[in-house]
Amino acid sequence: MYGTEKPPGDSERTAFRQAEKKYKLYYDDGSLKSSRKKKQVKPVDVSDVIDFKAISEAYERGGELPAGVVVVRCGSPRPVFCLEGRPGFYFIPGALSLEEQCQWMRESLLSFPQPPNRTNHNAIYGPLQDLFAAAKERKGLVKDESNGDCPTWKFVDEAEIPLRGNVCRSYPASALLRKLRWSTLGLQFDWSQRNYDVSLPHNKIPDALCQLAKRLATPAMPKGEEFRPEAAIVNYFASGDTLGGHLDDMEADWSKPIVSMSLGCKAIFLLGGKTRQDDPIAMFLRSGDVVLMAGEARECFHGVPRIFTDKDTAEISPLELHFSHQDDCFLLDYLRSSRININIRQVF
């Protein structure tokens, strides 16, 4: 999705790629042959996946930590876990309250994709205003050619969309929402050049999110320094989506962490080493978990090969209860099959 591209050749045989394939979502062949049967997900062995939630709960009860896991407090109200052999990596399970999770899920869908912030849809349709609201109201996107040589796209009610056969391309807003893969806040990242373009118009990262990121970044910051949130990338995952192994290497100072917040359905996160040949460590990411990557950890390949959207494995019951009001039914429907990740960076 972003980051360093995969090298050609033997990438399919690397340790990282094998781990991605191990945890990826697959369906039983038999269920795919019949359109009448619900697709059955192939079981996946997660016995080797680190569960920091269980580790944290056991630690708070006075239990011992697993081999290779250490804890630092750093003034945090919750234990912060590190991994031996991966300096600069920090995992804070349940770092976000339920209210914070709901707030930033809502902002990620309603506010963060708004122009002038850019999304993956910009390249085809230009800036799209109020995508979530248009999807909720069952609108369609049509090309407006009234400007002659400068056609634009706009959302209109279904009744206004010309009948089939008329020369007019239209796309349901709901489908475009499901195809939303990323949006950018603060300084805008130029995907074609793989750098930050300070000349692009943008909205500043909301102050409340800045303050939250500064607080969360504390365990990974050099002593006496404060994190400066200057850019953020919001990733949107649906069932079956993955984030391939990559490096986040476009910021100037790698001693400053990336602050990564997980929202929505549970996922598996892979933390590799400095090459794709290094065996990655797999761990669960749940809604409210926060990962920090600074220093040497910034040189480690990482990715998300799997999200869990089944009712028994997604682990989003508290979020479902919070969004149970009738006004939130559309957001709740999105939440039940999605994961959102907000990763915040200090660029300079």
Dump pLDDT digits (tens) for 165-184. 455 678 999 999 999 999 99
- Alpha-carbon distance of 9 to 274, in angstroms, equals 18
Which domains does the chain show, CATH number per domain? 11-32+40-113+180-345 (2.60.120.590), 125-173 (no CATH)
pLDDT in tens, 186-245: 999 887 778 899 899 998 999 999 999 999 999 999 999 999 999 999 999 999 999 999
pLDDT in tens, 239-282: 999 999 999 999 989 999 999 999 999 999 999 999 999 999 99
Binding site for Fe cation, residues? 246, 248, 302
Q: Is residue 116 reached through a cis peptide bond, with omega within 30 degrees of 0 on the bond before it?
A: yes
Question: What integer pLDDT is reported at residue 150 of this predicted model?
Answer: 77
As a whole-number percent, the residues of the chain with pLDDT over 90 amount to: 79
C-alpha dist (Å) from residue 183 to 21, 105, 232, 236, 319: 27, 13, 8, 9, 22
Q: Is the pLDDT of residue 2 over 50?
A: no
Q: How confident is the model at residue 10 (pLDDT cuts 50, 70, 90)?
A: low
Question: What integer pLDDT is reported at residue 304 of this predicted model?
Answer: 98
Binding site, residues? 246, 248, 302
pLDDT in tens, 20-47: 999 999 998 765 555 556 688 999 999 9
Chain position carrying tokens 């220093």: 295
Give the mean model confidence (pLDDT) for residues 77-92.
Answer: 95
pLDDT in tens, 99-108: 999 999 999 9
